[in-house]
């Protein structure tokens, strides 16, 4: 199976992303601020360090404890599902219907209402892990996804170069231009795959093919190169020049609407 790739499908209107290949480390290192408190809506009591009697949810308090839990992820034996909250008073003020909304979110992986953000909780993030490698993220500020995607691309590229070179020297990659990240996210509205394993390095340029996926994926369609090519169309290339330390993108698609207008 192709494993060194990123699948990304986004909805800026509903402020969520469906991902495969973006790690918990990419996520927690990419968000602007690690939450101080999270609710374990998957009822993972064993991983919690506190418990909210009113909502009957286990919680984790403390930024370093939250970071440790997110990094551990699936190692706990439970699919990670959590959301942050600002204060205990806010959590204690939830109505029965609002608590039921959280239980529905944990069970169905989608909110009963349009988005899972609560005025009482003041939450910024919702992290819904899946059993097959697919995760669903919600962001109050959708721009949070930019840095997460950038870190993930750099990590995958380093991994691919190290696997292909016996004596690979680490490269200090420059930041990806905001315009390129904007194009990648815009492209991801319809579903995008960055296939690092199918990339090539020629004359100090690492070229990574970009694929468009026809429909939202909930199962892996990249069991092999042949399966990927049968289910997705290559429509561009992401390139990193290791000599000039510059990123570039070539997309053979047109965007009908600006991402900022969505």
| pLDDT tens digit sequence for 96-109 | 999 999 999 999 99
**Residues 95 and 185 reside in one and the same domain:** no
The 10s digit of each residue's pLDDT in 218-227 is: 888 898 999 9
State whether 255 and 149 are in the same domain.
yes
User: Which pair of structure tokens corresponds to residue 205?
Assistant: 């340029």
Asked if residue 111 and residue 54 are part of one domain, the reply reads yes
Residues 57 and 152 in one domain: no
Are 252 and 150 in the same domain? yes
DSSP 3-state of 11 = strand
pTM, full prediction: 0.94
Q: Long-range contacts: 221-224, Cβ < 8 Å, 24+?
A: 222/1, 222/2, 222/5, 222/7, 222/193, 222/195, 223/1, 223/2, 224/1, 224/2
In a domain, 3, yes or no: no
**pLDDT, tens digit, for every residue of 227-260?**
999 999 999 999 999 999 999 999 987 765 566 5
**Rounded to whole angstroms, how far apart are CA atoms 81 and 172?**
33
Domain boundary (102, 117, 139) is at 139
Do both 135 and 215 map to the same domain?
A: no
Q: How many domains, in total, are found in the chain?
A: 2
Domain final residue pick, 117, 139, 161: 139
Residue 111 lies in a domain: yes
Q: Which domain holds residue 256?
A: 144-261
């Amino acid at each position: 199976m192709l494993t060194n790739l990123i699948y990304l499908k986004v909805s800026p209107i509903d402020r969520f992303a469906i991902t495969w290949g973006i790690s918990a480390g990419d996520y927690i290192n990419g968000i602007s601020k690690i939450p101080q408190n999270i609710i374990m809506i998957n009822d993972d009591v064993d991983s919690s360090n506190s418990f909210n009697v009113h909502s009957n949810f286990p919680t984790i308090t403390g930024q370093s404890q939250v970071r440790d839990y997110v990094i551990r992820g699936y190692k706990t034996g439970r699919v990670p599902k959590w959301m942050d909250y600002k204060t205990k008073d806010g959590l204690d003020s939830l109505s029965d219907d609002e608590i039921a909304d959280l239980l529905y979110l944990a069970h169905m992986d989608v909110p009963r209402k349009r988005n899972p953000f609560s005025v009482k909780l003041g939450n910024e993030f919702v992290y819904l892990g899946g059993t097959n490698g697919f995760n669903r993220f919600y962001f109050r500020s959708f721009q949070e996804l930019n840095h997460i995607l950038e870190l993930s691309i750099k990590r995958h590229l380093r991994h691919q170069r190290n696997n292909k070179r016996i004596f690979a020297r680490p490269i200090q990659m420059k930041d990806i231009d905001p315009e390129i990240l904007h194009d990648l996210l815009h492209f991801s509205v319809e579903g995008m795959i960055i296939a690092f394993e199918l990339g090539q390095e020629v004359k100090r340029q690492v070229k990574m093919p970009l694929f468009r996926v026809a429909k939202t994926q909930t199962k892996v369609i990249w069991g092999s190169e042949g399966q990927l090519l049968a289910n997705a169309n290559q429509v561009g290339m992401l390139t990193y020049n290791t000599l000039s330390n510059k990123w570039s993108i070539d997309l053979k698609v047109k965007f009908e609407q600006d991402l900022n207008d969505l």
